[in-house]
Amino acid sequence: MSDLNESQIRSFQQARGLDVTGFVDEVTARAMEEARWKLGDRSLYLQATPLMRGDDVAALQARLTEMGFDCGRVDGIFGNRTEAAVKDFQKSVGETVDGKCGPATMIALIRLTRVVSGGVPSTLRQNATQQLRGPALANKVIVLDPQANDALIYDVAVRTEGRLLALGASVFLTRGVNNSPTESERITFSNRSNADLMISLNTDSYPNDKAHGAATYFYGSDAHGVHSIVGERFASLVQREICARTDLTNCRTHAKTWDLLRLTTAPTVRIDLGYASNAGDIDRLSRPEFRDTVAEALVIAIQRLYLAAEDDAKTGTLKISDLRNAGIRR
């Protein structure tokens, strides 16, 4: 790592979906460690904490997924679900079923990958699960994750919570007025809540005041060739709804590998509602009617995520009052 210059570090961070800072922080150092492992370099198995991580684990998960074995999300972490998928694969090819991807399993995997490929069962599973949950919000669990120590963002979360509760959803906030849990604690909270969706609400900042606008982030890794299908769709929906209903500049959606997006089980997005370093964005966010509009945009985007294509509406046109007519309000 010490041999890399700032340009190389920035390039690596960009390729891995990390914050591009040009210096090696804890997250970048961990990503560099994961990147040095290629499939076949070592035996892969479930071990006590810390779990095995690396590009080799991600490659194993991707190959098993292509062949129809359910690893869950391709996240490069060898957990219980990956071990179960390895066991299913070993059983299917007549190998010793021990959940360890050693030389014999690796050879069988390589041989079979050549003849069985092209499917994306994870996409089918995510879409099928979403459809089975139905359009009504009454049986959905939504976790809202407002930025710490930001009264305006917290207010947006509370206004969104109220609207979702009125539609029958179960809503949990990761933070209260007087508590500020760590990112790890918030991830654990969401996972234990069996959430259908997690939404992190924030403002961004920049060294000067020229940066402005809204952006949305979902889990995706170009390095691993994977992304959250539902997360990406929701990111697109909510970004378009916010920008259609407000005058915030559209800074688009982006795939990232931040831990909040990567380790939260439910589809997760981070929404930056402007820049705290831009006076215009903060002026917008300071207006109660603007925060009401953002909350409405969030709720409509959540509802559109679960609507069938034929029941969907054009961006910026659906209103919460319309949900009664669709028969999906409690």
State which of 105, 126, 147 marks the end of a domain. Answer: 126
Residue 226: what pLDDT? Answer: 77
**Nearest-angstrom CA–CA distance, 195 and 143:** 6
Same domain, 225 and 165: yes
Same domain, 291 and 164: yes
Q: Would you say residue 21 lies in a domain?
A: yes
Q: Would you say residue 20 lies in a domain?
A: yes
Q: How many domains does the chain have?
A: 2
Same domain, 90 and 168: no
Question: In the predicted model, what is the mean pLDDT of residues 108-112?
Answer: 82
More confident residue, 72 or 134: 72
Same domain, 260 and 168: yes
225 confidence band (pLDDT: 50, 70, 90) = confident
Q: Would you say residue 36 lies in a domain?
A: yes
Residue 116: what pLDDT? Answer: 47
**Nearest-angstrom CA–CA distance, 313 and 48:** 48
Q: Is the pTM of this model over 0.75?
A: yes
Same domain, 231 and 264: yes
CATH code of the domain covering residue 93: 1.10.101.10
Residue 256: what pLDDT? Answer: 93
Express each pLDDT in 119-166 by its tens digit.
455 554 555 455 545 567 888 999 999 999 899 999 999 999 999 999
Q: Would you say residue 265 lies in a domain?
A: yes
Nearest to 271 by CA among 292, 241, 244, 247: 241
Residue 223: what pLDDT? Answer: 73
User: Which domain covers residue 35, as residue numbers?
Assistant: 6-126
Nearest to 2 by CA among 20, 37, 28: 28
**Averaged pLDDT score across all residues of the chain:** 86
Q: In one letter, which amino acid is 142?
A: I
Same domain, 103 and 138: no
Same domain, 185 and 306: yes
Q: Would you say residue 330 lies in a domain?
A: no
State which of 126, 152, 177 marks the end of a domain. Answer: 126
Check whether 118 has a pLDDT greater than 50. no
Top-confidence range, 62-71, 120-129, 216-225, 267-276? 267-276
Same domain, 153 and 259: yes
CATH code of the domain covering residue 139: 3.40.630.40
Percentage of the chain modeled with pLDDT above 90:
63
Cβ atoms of 60 and 44 within 8 Å: the answer is: yes
Instruction: Give the 3-state DSSP-derived string for the chain, with helices as H, strands as E and coil as C.
Output: CCCCCHHHHHHHHHHCCCCCCCCCCHHHHHHHHHHCCCCCCCCECCCCCCCCECHHHHHHHHHHHHCCCCCCCCCCECCHHHHHHHHHHHHHHCCCCCCCECHHHHHHHHHHHCCCCCCCHHHHHHHHHHHHCCCCHHHCEEEEEECCCCHHHHHHHHHHHHHHHHCCCEEEECCCCCCCCCHHHHHHHHHHCCCCEEEEEEEECCCCCCCCCEEEEEEEECCCCEECHHHHHHHHHHHHHHHHHCCCCEEEEEEECCHHHHHCCCCEEEEEEEECCCHHHHHHHCCHHHHHHHHHHHHHHHHHHHCCHHHCCCCCCCCCCHHHHCCCCC
Express each pLDDT in 170-189 by its tens digit.
999 999 877 889 999 999 99
Same domain, 23 and 143: no
Same domain, 13 and 57: yes
State which of 126, 147, 163 marks the end of a domain. Answer: 126
Check whether 274 has a pLDDT greater than 50. yes
Same domain, 204 and 304: yes
Residue 52: what pLDDT? Answer: 95
Check whether 330 has a pLDDT greater than 60. no
More confident residue, 20 or 236: 236
Same domain, 179 and 253: yes
Q: Would you say residue 1 lies in a domain?
A: no
